[in-house]
Amino acid sequence: MLGIKNDILFKLLIAVSIVIIWVSYSISLFKQKSNSNQEIVISKALGNGNWETVSGGLLPDLRRIAFDNSGRFGVGVSLEGYLITSKDGGLTWDLAGKIPLDPDGMEIVNSLAITNDGLFVGTAVDESLYGAIYHLTDSGKWQVQEGNYGGLLNGANNSLMVGSNGLIAKLSSTANSTLTDGQTNSSNTNNKETRSKSDKEITNLSELITLQQLPLWGQINLYSVGQKDEKVLVAGDYGLVCLSTDTAKSWKNISPDRTNKFPFYGASITDDFGLVGGINGSFWRFNYHKNNWQQITGLNKELTIFAIYADKESCVAGGGQLMGTSPFILYSANKGLEWKQELIPQNYGRIVSIAKSINGVFVATIDGHILIRKNNSK
């Protein structure tokens, strides 16, 4: 009889132990899941980065800066198509002429990319589907491909541009210039040479440009693009964020907040994580391996993020007010998990572009200032 009772007690003890282990595991799993989605709060302590001005106001309405793969040659472009260049990794800049934009087309420049095939600049026209991509040849001539496929609104150095109507432009030597989304519309592209000038020729850049669109659900204005190898992150109106893992062949909607109706103007992606930011201080971090988002909070709601740069060493986000004032810089030294705001002259315009060269990270302001982060310590 005593043996039977001991046997019952032993089985009961085992059952209780199993329950305790299961409850502990469930609590641990719940905590891990909760922690993975916790907000990242921007520190109130100022970062120790020292931002030094290397170029002051050469180009009003500066929109983009970029460096080539060597990190030595840099280009900046203004809204009106004026250029500046650097041959020493961004430490000095010089005026370098103007893109021969159509004088009657009301073109504005918002997109810039330096690829292995050279310099590309994308243009748009307000309230229009017109867009053009300009390419600078080795001989110093400008080629342009234009059409009503959508205006170009931003670019990535890894040979991509994005624009209105969900437009994706691939820039490479193996491109096929047709509008693809289950439909081909080559008639929308002007490949004629009837508008030639001494310094510009209208030509078919089919060997360099592939035009695509996002699926129907993503055919809205795209304002930002980031690329790391085969991973591409794009963002735009209505809080849309899309991810491709096959170099823009297929897309998945991974928008962090489906209730958000405001645009994202900045996007960047690395091997492990992505970052997007926009109006009302909105800022988000995407964990690629866990497939989840963390909101980054603490930025003033009156500020807008206009540019983001991220790599395995550091992350930089910048912007200002929509009217063009109140520039700010956010810096992270640990893959976007902790952020501090760093000082920048407040008499400058908002941050509009961020790029990295062999000398470090540079930011550009809308009123033409270019600054380098001199202190790269944490």
Q: Which residue has the tokens 């891990």?
A: 32
Residue at 342: amino acid letter: E
Is position 39 within any domain?
Answer: no
Is position 378 within any domain?
Answer: no
Range of the domain at 258: 45-373
**Are residues 295 and 305 in contact, defined by beta-carbon separation less than 8 angstroms?**
no
Is position 269 within any domain?
Answer: yes
Is position 333 within any domain?
Answer: yes
* Predicted TM-score (pTM) of this structure: 0.84
Q: How many domains does the chain have?
A: 1
Is position 18 within any domain?
Answer: no
- Element housing 9 (H / E): helix 2-36
The tokens describing 170, both together, are: 């691939």
Residue 112 has pLDDT above 70, yes or no: yes
Q: Using H for helix, E for strand and C for coil, what is the string for 307-354?
A: EEEECCCCEEEEEECCCCCCCEEEEECCCCCCCEEECCCCCCCCEEEE
Q: What is the CATH number of the domain that holds 117?
A: 2.130.10.10
* pLDDT score, position 178: 39
pLDDT digits (tens, 9 = 90+) for 160-204: 999 999 999 999 754 544 344 433 233 344 433 334 444 445 456
Is position 80 within any domain?
Answer: yes
Q: Which residue has the tokens 């209505």?
A: 238
pLDDT digits (tens, 9 = 90+) for 113-145: 998 888 999 999 998 889 999 999 888 899 999
Q: Which of the two residues, 56 and 5, has the higher pLDDT score?
A: 56
pLDDT digits (tens, 9 = 90+) for 13-48: 555 444 443 444 343 333 334 334 689 999 999 988
Is position 354 within any domain?
Answer: yes
* pLDDT score, position 347: 95
Is position 1 within any domain?
Answer: no
